Structure 1
Amino acid sequence: MEPKQVKEGYLVKKGTVLSNWKAVWVILSEDAVEFYKRKTDSSPKAMIPLKGATLTSPCQDFGKRTMVFKISTAKKQDHFFQASHSGEREAWVKDIKSAIGCLEGGKKFARKSTRRSIRLPDTVNLNELYTLIRDQDNGVKELKLEKENKIYNHCFTGGTVVDWLISKERARNRAEGVMLATGLMNEGYLQPAGDRSKTGASEGTESVFLDESDAFYFFADSGFFCEGYSSDEDDIVKEEFRGNIIKQGCLLKQGHRRKNWKVRKFTLRDDPAFIHYYDPAKGGEEPLGSIHLRGCVVTAVEFVPDAKRYDVDGDLFEIITSDETHYFLQAATAHEKKEWIQAIQTVSKSGK
């Protein structure tokens, strides 16, 4: 019998010969990970066997490139993949670990929870803790903090995080709070912002979360950005990034000029209503473009005009902005297409 397909979607992969990163279509089955140049390709570029493999997450071998995990095969070959956000990485890591565990035990694939850090007690679930600390009503509040002629937006201090952990009885003392916060940072849920916190994260052999008022951090999937004292014109541009992130992930996008299709990472914000898109392979923070969604129309479509240079079929949708600009996109699955359409429709009505 053929192994069952467990999961599929876009990830960014580091080349095994060249050191460049490229977006690829990835399929996880019960015994292997296959990756394709395009979603529509009939044969994979390569197959990574999972029997005897190990998985490392987070993998912090690449500096600023976060959300990376590593699969090491039984033959000691390393394969590096990057997800677009923490929730996506969590889902891939969980399913790959489960597949490896089932192969080791001679069992069929079955989803099960996995502990995310060997340094923490078995009772600690960092994904659950992050959900609580990220809660807009009862979690750590995101603020605009100022230091050395710079403004850090959607940010908070290390001391605030430890205070929250103790007040919610998640930590018994400040030392335990630092341990939990360090775990969240090492897993990529919290990111250092500013020189002080970045120094703590890079000093010595292990990163350390700083329980200090001048050490700034931000949520990995927040709208964080840093700016110097700027003109009014710069503030108008930055206004696009002030909204909360509602949804993010990779989609296939048709270019406006050449009509070719490329994988882009999309980030949807609510107020103001904008969706920004990035080149996921570059891992940079500067978007390639933005779409103002206020008053837009978004619908599912069956085909795309001039889609000649790329074989696209299924899970397509279109965004028509208030100024009549058309954007054609393809989701990884029908379910994901529905989620994107619903999220964009909500934001276009509520956001300014």
Structure 2
Amino acid sequence: MEPSTIREGYLVKKGTVLNSWKVMWVVLADDGIEFYKKKTDSNPKGMIPLNGATLTSPCQDFNKRTFVFKLSTTKKQDHFFQATHLEERELWVKDIKRAITCLQGGKRFARKSTRKSIRLPESVNLSELYILMKDQDSGIKEMKVEKDKKLFSHCFTGNTVIDWLISQGKVRNRAEGVMLATGLLNEGFLQPAGEISKTAAEGGAESVLLDQHDALYYFADSGFYCEGYSSDEDVIVKEEFRGAIVKQGCLLKQGHRRKNWKVRKFILRDDPAYIHYYDPAKGEDDPLGSIPLRGCVVTAVDYVPDAKRHDVEGNLFEIITSDEVHYYLQAATSEERNEWIKVVQVVAKSGK
């Protein structure tokens, strides 16, 4: 039987010869991973067998790169992949681990039920817990805090984390809550925001989350910022970067000058309403550009002017800014295109 496709999408992959990082279209099947230079290519650049492979996540081999995972084959070859954000990495890791387990057991791939026992800290799936914590309705509420002549935005206190874990039945007492929250901190799901929490996180071999009202933390991929701070870690950011992240991921974008198409990482923020786009292989220090969304129009399109049909076709959409600048983008699937259009429409109306 032909191997069935489990997951596919854009990931940044480290080269095995030149050690450079490049965006690849990656396809996970039940027996291996294939990666392509472009989504439209018929022949892969390479294939990684999953039989006997081991997965390492999170991978801490690269200090300046986050959301990296490592796949090691039986031939002692290491392959490094980088996702655009935390949830994306966890979805890839979960499916790859399941595929490896199924191969070892001689079974066809089938996703396990996500229902887990989480009464004890040892049995908690941290990535699933993190998603619950970020839920806008039932999760931890982000807030603005003024402390030591600094304004922290999109953050929360350590004791709020413990209160939430207890109220949701994830732990039985505050001691278990600290243990579980410390696990979230060590895995990078939570980050320390102020001097007290940073000191505790850097005080020993293992970070510790403080169950205190004056210890501040934030979600790893939130819109956290701090005014009045001058350290290297918390610089004052521009106004347009202060919004909370609504959606992020890779899309194909048409250039304005050469009209060529390249994969870019897009981050959509809500207040102020902006999309910033980056080279996904180089990180997020310097965006390549930004799209102001306030008052924009976003629609699905069937084709793009000045684009060759064989270069790009399907799942296209267009953003027209209030200044009448046109941006043409392509999603990997029709579902993803619909999601982007929906969130852009909402932010364009509600964002500032």
TM-score bucket (shorter structure): 0.7 to 0.9
Residue 239 of structure 1 corresponds to: 239
Measure the CA separation in 1 of the matches of 2:149 and 2:16. Answer: 42
Deviations 1:122-144 (A, max 9, x none): 3x232342233223344322223
- Give matches, 1:186-335, under 5 Å: 186-194=186-194, 197-198=197-198, 200-201=200-201, 204-213=204-213, 215-228=215-228, 238-307=238-307, 311-335=311-335
Secondary structure of 1:140's counterpart equals coil
Show the counterpart of 2:340: 340
Aligned pairs (5 A) from 1:1-352? 1-113=1-113, 120-122=121-123, 124-146=124-146, 150-194=150-194, 197-198=197-198, 200-201=200-201, 204-213=204-213, 215-228=215-228, 238-307=238-307, 311-352=311-352
Closer/same/farther in 2, CA of residues 178 and 310 from structure 1, 3 Å limit: farther
Letter aligned with residue 121 of structure 1: E
Task: Give the paired residue count.
Answer: 345
Distance change (3 Å), C-alpha of 1:146 and 1:37:
farther
Q: Which moved more, 1:306-315 or 1:260-269?
A: 306-315
Classify the secondary structure of the residue corresponding to 2:181: helix
Residue 73 of structure 1, CA deviation: 1.1
What is the RMSD of the two structures over their aligned residues, measured on CA atoms? Answer: 2.9
Say if 1:260 and 1:309, in contact at 8 Å, map to a contact too. no
Deviation at 1:337, TM superposition (A): 1.0
Alpha-carbon separation, structure 2, partners of 1:217 and 1:211: 11
Amino acid at match of 1:254: Q
Query: Residues of 2 paired with 1:202 and 1:80: CA distance?
Result: 27
Which deviates more from structure 2 when the two are superposed, residues 80-89 or residues 179-188?
A: 179-188
For 1:127, what is the secondary structure of its paired residue?
helix
Please report how far the alpha carbon of residue 315 of structure 1 lies from its aligned counterpart in structure 2 after TM superposition. 1.4
* Bigger relative contact order (CA 8 A; separation at least 6): 1
Deviation at 1:183, TM superposition (A): 2.2
Change (3 A) 1:73 1:148: farther
**Contact 2:224/2:244, CA 8 A, preserved across alignment:** no
* 8 Å CA contact retained: 1:57, 1:187: no
- Secondary structure of the residue aligned to 1:101 is helix
Q: Distance in 1 between matches of 2:325 and 2:287?
A: 18
Give the Cα–Cα distance (whole angstroms) in 1 for the partners of residues 241 and 14 of structure 2.
Answer: 29
Greater shift in the superposed pair: 13-22 or 273-282 = 13-22
Question: Which amino acid is 2:222 matched to?
Answer: S
Q: Deviations over 1:260-285 (max 9, x none)?
A: 22211112223332212122211224
Q: Please say which of residues 13-22 and 80-89 is displaced more in the overlay.
A: 13-22
Q: Write the deviation string for residues 5-57 of structure 1: whole angstroms up to 9, x where unpaired.
A: 11110111122223332221100111111111111122111111100011122
CA distance in 2, matches of 1:78, 1:206: 27
Aligned equivalents of 2:102, 2:205: Cα separation in 1: 33
Deviates more, 1:177-186 or 1:160-169: 160-169
TM-score (norm 2): 0.87
CA–CA distance in 2 between the matches of 1:74 and 1:200? Answer: 40
Shift of 1:215: 4.2
The match for 1:233 is: none
1:297-316 superposed Cα distances (whole Å, 9 cap, x missing partner): 11222222233598222211
The one-letter amino acid of 1:85's match is: H
Query: What CA distance in whole angstroms lies between the structure 2 residues aligned with 1:85 and 1:150?
Result: 28
> Counterparts of 1:227 and 1:23 in 2: how far apart (Å)?
34
In the aligned structure 1, how far is the partner of 2:297 from the partner of 2:74? 50
CA distance in 2, matches of 1:246, 1:7: 23
Show CA shifts across 1:145-185 (max 9, x none).
Answer: 45566543212233332233234443233331122112223
What percentage of aligned pairs have identical amino acids?
Answer: 73
Structure 1 length-normalised TM: 0.87
Partners of 2:60 and 2:149 in 1: how far apart? 30
